[in-house]
Structure 1
Amino acid sequence: MGKSLDEIAIQLKECNKKVQLIYAFNGTGKTRLSRAFKELIAPKNELEEENGLASKKILYYNAFTEDLFYWDNDLDNDTNLKLKIHPNAFTEWVFVEQGQELNVISNFQEYINNHALTPKFNEDFSEVTFSLKKGNDEDIENIKISKGEESNFVWSIFYSLLEQVVSVLNVPEESDRETDKLNQLEYIFIDDPVTSLDDNHLIQMAVNLSDVIRKSESDLKFIITTHSPMSLS
């Protein structure tokens, strides 16, 4: 008889490995496992909501992360297309507190291998528009990007945060770190960030993720789920 998601979550918690990689087909409960593990490590409470990232023991990337981003398609005029950003501790930290938007843009353009496609955030980072720069007066503004490009964009935000987390926690003495708001972190749970990526972008994502994990010198633990055999290589 197979194990329940709660039992698997407990097994993941009890394992002392730095990295745990889980391969499973779509529809088998990977996203539900990420939620079960999060509830096991750090059940949601009011303190977490008030203190944002400072009280978190786990950061996770899953389908709920992508759901923070949704399109306003301007159905009346079909001209002002924008990707809305629902604020939470994750987006507030990356954009408002740390000003990581330039890193996000750079990572996004590297992932899609297109430096002409440029995100532009509004002042309070509640929405982003995309333009295609052609180097002349024919620049295309307010375009709707593909689902794959959108997945790359959301992943670029999380990856920018991940790079900073690893860099900060690599400093052994807490008093020497540039911020104390990451000191509680114990786990990074990444659930299948490859759903809408083609093979080339999938490989690039896997290589970059592997590199940043190798750079981690702290006690931070990583749990990664995937449905793609390619990302296991």
Structure 2
Amino acid sequence: MGKTLTEIAEQLQNTDKKVQLIYAFNGTGKTRLSRAFKALIAPKAEGEEAQASDLAAKKILYYSAFTEDLFYWDNDLGLDAEPKLKIQPNAFTKWVLEEQGQDQSITTTFQNYTSEKLTPHFSADFSTVRFSFERGNEQPEPHIKISKGEESNFIWSVFNALLEQLISELNIADAENRSTDAFNRLEYVFIDDPVSSLDENHLIELAVNLAGLIKSSQSGLKFIVTTHSPLFYNVLFNELGSKLCYLLERFDDGSFALTEKQGDSNKSFSYHLHLKHTIEQAIADNKVERFHFTLLRNLYEKTASFLGYPKWSELLPDDKQLYLARIINFTSHSTLSNEAVAAPTQAEKATVKLLLDHLKSNYGFWQQEQQNG
């Protein structure tokens, strides 16, 4: 029997481990789990609507889609106005920017993940940020609106600076010697699916840097990290020592399971690889049967879920309806128990190979799996 997200959150809370690493497909409920955990640790008074409350009262620091809501573009602009990213008043950015003066550190991290020519400019009161882009010998663009991916990178850079500072403070064993008491009550850092718009090299770098920060923490602070990226998961798995690893699953009835796993994603979450190998073997032996269409459909469904597509049929080749009809025909249950089941023709067997090759060749997830194994 599955559990509610609140029960999953309680499972995480009751685990005495420095790091808990959670892998889940897109749409499984990672962000909702972060909210459920936050509500459990710091009910209501520390919800996202109360970010501006006293930092010293907080027990949990979290990075999620809701963290990004603290930053928004000023849309009330005239034709000649400069695009600017506004920062909602909140205790976290106030401390890291105003009190700790980490704006240059944020800029360095941001440029490392994007471009050294793309520069954020904070206002004097740190309530807004403008961005400029240097174009070599060309006229620089003094005020631009950055992309959504660049915006996510910027917000992560702010969070990263905050994380560095608070870990450094809490590593001072005697609380009396700390420069601030702002984090004395902090118990958890929950990081929900950090920047996913990075290329492979920068994603690996981010994972290595995050693992280094976590390993540097000596204060008893606990970390929970969720991700849908097998690459990000694998790097953290290999970089971190003492940790618990899980697979978060959602069932058709809306309940959930958090299953402990051993090994990296290639070893722990390999059902999709099993499906692929089974179909490949049937193709190689010319023994494709009706049930292989079911396995193929399952593989498309899992890949679509992983990549965030609402319908698995969106992954099919150009003539989607034709291929969809063929798969549906072979995966639908017979309405009559004595109805004859026709074996696939050679053309239909060829369709299985075509659709499997299409999946492997056109989606980066499978290209990465092929490189890994």
Measured after TM superposition, the shift of residue 74 of structure 1 is: 6.1
Superposed, 1:120-131 pairs within 5 Å as 120-131=121-132
In 2, Cα distance between equivalents of 1:49 and 1:29: 22
Q: How many Å separate the matches in 1 of 2:195 and 2:165?
A: 21
Match of 1:185 in 2: 186
Q: Runs of 5+ in structure 1 lacking a partner?
A: none
| Cα distance per residue 1:115-155 (max 9 Å; x no partner) | 22110011221211100134667221111212221111000
Structure 2 counterparts to residues 4-43 of structure 1, below 5 A: 4-43=4-43
Tell me the secondary structure at the aligned position of residue 146 of structure 2: coil
1:154 corresponds in structure 2 to 155
Contact 1:95 1:101 in 2 (8 A): yes
- Paired with 2:201 and 2:148, the residues of 1 have a C-alpha distance of 15
**1:218 alignment counterpart:** 219
Which residue identity does 1:127 align to in structure 2? T
Measured in 2, the distance between the counterparts of 1:61 and 1:187 equals 11
Q: Note if 1:71 corresponds to 2:73.
A: yes
Whole-Å Cα distance in 1 between the matches of residues 4 and 80 of structure 2? 47
Structure 1's 72 and 31: CA in aligned 2 closer, same or farther, altered over 3 A? Answer: same
Distance 1:50 1:158, change over 3 A: closer
User: Helix, strand or coil: the match of 2:16?
Assistant: coil
Separation in 1, partners of 2:24, 2:94: 32
C-alpha RMSD of matched pairs (Å): 1.9
Correspondent of 2:84 among 82, 88, 94: 82
Shift of 1:73: 5.0
How far, CA to CA, are the matches of 1:50 and 1:232 in structure 2? 32
Kindly state the Cα deviation for residue 185 of structure 1 after the two structures are TM-superposed. 0.6
TM-score (norm 1): 0.92
Alignment of 1:28-177 (within 5 A): 28-45=28-45, 52-73=54-75, 76-77=78-79, 80-112=82-114, 114-134=115-135, 138-177=139-178
Q: Report if aligned partners of 1:79, 1:142 keep a CA contact under 8 Å in 2.
A: no
Question: Which structure features the higher share of helix residues?
Answer: 2
Is the contact between residue 18 and residue 222 of structure 2 (CA under 8 Å) also seen in structure 1?
A: yes
> d(CA) in 2 for partners of 1:74 and 1:44?
31
Task: For residue 143 of structure 2, give the secondary structure of its aligned residue in structure 1.
Answer: coil
How big is the shift at 1:201?
2.3
Q: 1:49 to 1:34 in 2, by over 3 A?
A: closer
SS class of match (1:10): helix
Q: How many residues align?
A: 231
TM-score (norm 2): 0.59
8 Å CA contact retained: 2:119, 2:132: yes
Task: Render the CA deviation track for 1:51-101: whole Å, top value 9, x for unaligned.
Answer: 521011110000001111112356641651111111211111111222211
The structure whose RCO (Cα within 8 Å, separation 6+) is larger is: 1
Greater displacement, 144-153 / 193-202: 193-202
